């Protein structure tokens, strides 16, 4: 387990002068709780499971010790050259997060005078440029799983000399949608390596799986609601009035930046069109946009050229907007964990932020589930001038409480259970990931 000592500055973490100088350049004075607790353990090569609120400094937590260990190892190498091998691998779920993490790693290594090569690889762009970047190998690769497998199949990179593996946003990375790719990648890595899992949330399924992937891991949780700078509020609205209320709030508060989440690509375009009719110019961000267009939109949103951005959940992770004032759930996310990732785009790195959710009577039950799973309870508020029709809520509740008519005996077919046995799925990792 980690020490009870909480270092008050980076000099106490065991980091080398080159990294301390860069942290001074960046005006990083005091380590965040996750950095203070995790960095010393990482420097001792311990496997790690770390949970912290988004915006809490997770990237620096794993990047700084990874850079230090690679840099010091280079000093004892007898033969120069990297071939097409890689020492450190950071796997992430989205293109945006790959770019963001790689940029951070490169920034932290500024005082190494080019001694450490970091490359980001992800889909949606030409593979040729990434193959070119990987010529001669790399020290650190930040990658999405699918594109990394493409590059391996082209012999652009090999993983059999990996010393450190990081799974960032681990709950998504270990989700069943990534099972096949992760299994393939782990089979190509050496059995002995340091493995770290970072995420804002760790559902029970992920906790069970990490027991098979890690060896005697240090477990750190530093999430603290008391220290949060993010204010959460929920507004009850009448069905069909969400857009009107949203437009009213945007105009009333004149937010310089507002990130609005919906659940589907078509909903992005539809809501943008409805807001435009109300005099609000909004841009959209979703998976059907090409990578160059997505990058352009995000950059304009970061600089404030775009004030209102409507996005699907691809923006819920890996989107780091400094001092983003407000995040709005126009549609509630399907997953309670995604709720936390969405609202975590605001209130980052100690900045004050606001997360609003607009719910009508059809959303009530699902929002209660989100509250229960994430262990919070918010007061239901109303926007002044948009009183909620209580009769609609009462009618919806009464309908929900009605008992369904009994089916005749023997009618209907039994649905076949489709429960996934995670033990079977992940059995291929045992032995190879230790």
* Pair 124, 102: CB distance under 8 Å: no
Lowest mean pLDDT among 39-43, 84-88, 225-229, 347-351: 225-229
Question: Which has more pLDDT, 124 or 60?
Answer: 60
Residue 42, C-beta contacts closer than 8 angstroms, at least 6 positions apart: 48, 61, 62, 65, 66, 194, 196
Retrieve residue 16's tokens: 């080398």
Q: Give the C-alpha distances (Å, rounded to integers) separating 387 from 238, 239, 243, 381, 428.
A: 8, 12, 15, 10, 56
Task: Name the average pLDDT for the chain.
Answer: 83
Question: Which has more pLDDT, 414 or 34?
Answer: 34
**pLDDT tens-digit map of 52-109:** 766 678 899 999 999 999 999 987 554 444 678 899 999 998 888 899 899 999 999 9
State residue 195 phi and psi, 5-degree precision: -120, 130
State the average pLDDT over residues 189-216: 80
Task: Say whether pLDDT at 396 is over 80.
Answer: no
Residue 76, C-beta contacts closer than 8 angstroms, at least 6 positions apart: none
Task: Say whether pLDDT at 324 is over 80.
Answer: yes
DSSP assignment letter at 169: S
Helix, strand, coil percent values for the chain (each to nearest 5): 40, 15, 40
Q: pTM for the whole thing?
A: 0.65
Name beta bridge partners: 51.
Answer: 199, 221
* Strand, coil or helix: 32: coil
- In the block, tokens 């990434």 appear at 130
Question: Which has more pLDDT, 273 or 204?
Answer: 273
State the average pLDDT over residues 258-269: 93
Task: Say whether pLDDT at 423 is over 50.
Answer: no
Tell me which residue of 244, 230, 225 sits closest to 358, measured CA to CA: 244
Q: What is the CA radius of gyration of the chain?
A: 24
How many other CB atoms are found less than 10 A from the CB of residue 70?
21
Q: Give the C-alpha distances (Å, rounded to integers) separating 199 from 49, 108, 171, 262, 338.
A: 9, 21, 6, 22, 12
* Pair 184, 149: CB distance under 8 Å: yes
Rounded to whole angstroms, the Cα distance separating 238 from 360 reads 5
* Strand, coil or helix: 331: coil
Retrieve residue 223's tokens: 């999430």
pLDDT band at 350 (very low <50, low <70, confident <90, very high): low
Question: Which has more pLDDT, 54 or 123?
Answer: 123
- Residues 178, 179, 185, 190: is their CA dihedral positive or negative? positive
Residue 271, C-beta contacts closer than 8 angstroms, at least 6 positions apart: 243, 260, 262, 282, 310, 330
Task: Say whether pLDDT at 179 is over 50.
Answer: yes
Set out the domains of the chain in order of their start, with CATH numbers: 10-223 (3.40.50.300), 230-401 (3.40.50.300)
**pLDDT tens-digit map of 148-162:** 999 999 999 999 999
């Amino acid at each position: 387990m980690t020490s009870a000592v909480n270092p008050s500055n980076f000099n106490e973490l065991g980091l080398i002068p080159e990294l301390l100088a860069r942290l001074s350049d960046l005006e990083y004075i005091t380590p965040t709780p996750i950095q203070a607790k995790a960095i010393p353990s990482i420097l001792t090569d311990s496997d790690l499971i770390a949970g912290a609120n988004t915006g809490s400094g997770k990237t620096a937590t794993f990047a700084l010790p990874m850079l230090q260990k690679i840099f010091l190892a280079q000093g004892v190498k007898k033969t120069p050259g990297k071939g097409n091998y890689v020492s450190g691998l950071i796997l992430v779920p989205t293109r945006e997060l790959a770019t963001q993490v790689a940029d951070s790693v490169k920034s932290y290594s500024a005082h190494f005078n080019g001694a450490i090569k970091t490359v980001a690889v992800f889909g949606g762009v030409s593979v040729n440029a990434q193959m070119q970047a990987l010529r001669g190998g790399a020290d650190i690769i930040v990658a999405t799983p699918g594109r990394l497998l493409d590059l391996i199949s082209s012999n652009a990179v090999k993983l059999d000399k990996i010393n450190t593996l990081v799974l960032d946003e681990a709950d998504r990375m270990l989700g069943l949608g990534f099972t096949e790719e992760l299994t393939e990648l782990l089979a190509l890595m050496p059995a002995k390596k340091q493995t770290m899992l970072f995420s804002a949330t760790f559902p029970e399924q992920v906790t069970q799986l990490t027991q098979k992937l890690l060896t005697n891991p240090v477990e750190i949780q530093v999430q603290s609601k008391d220290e949060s700078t993010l204010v959460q509020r929920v507004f009850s609205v009448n069905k069909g009035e969400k857009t009107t209320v949203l437009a009213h709030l945007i105009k009333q508060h004149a937010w310089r930046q507002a990130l609005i989440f919906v659940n589907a690509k078509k909903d992005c375009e539809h809501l943008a069109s409805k807001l435009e009719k109300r005099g609000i110019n909004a841009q959209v961000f979703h998976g059907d946009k090409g990578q160059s267009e997505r990058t352009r939109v995000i950059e304009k949103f970061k600089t404030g050229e775009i004030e209102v951005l409507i996005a699907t959940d691809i923006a819920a992770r890996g989107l780091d907007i400094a001092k983003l004032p407000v995040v709005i759930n126009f549609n509630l996310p399907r997953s309670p964990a995604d709720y936390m990732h969405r609202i975590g785009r605001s209130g980052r790195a100690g900045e004050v932020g606001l997360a609003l959710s607009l719910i009508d009577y059809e959303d009530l039950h699902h929002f209660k589930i989100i509250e229960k799973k994430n262990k919070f309870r918010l007061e239901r508020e109303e926007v002044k001038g948009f009183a909620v029709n209580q009769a609609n809520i009462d009618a919806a509740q009464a309908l929900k409480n009605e008992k369904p008519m009994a089916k005749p005996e023997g009618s209907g077919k039994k649905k076949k259970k489709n429960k996934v046995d995670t033990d079977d799925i992940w059995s291929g990792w045992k032995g190879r990931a230790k």
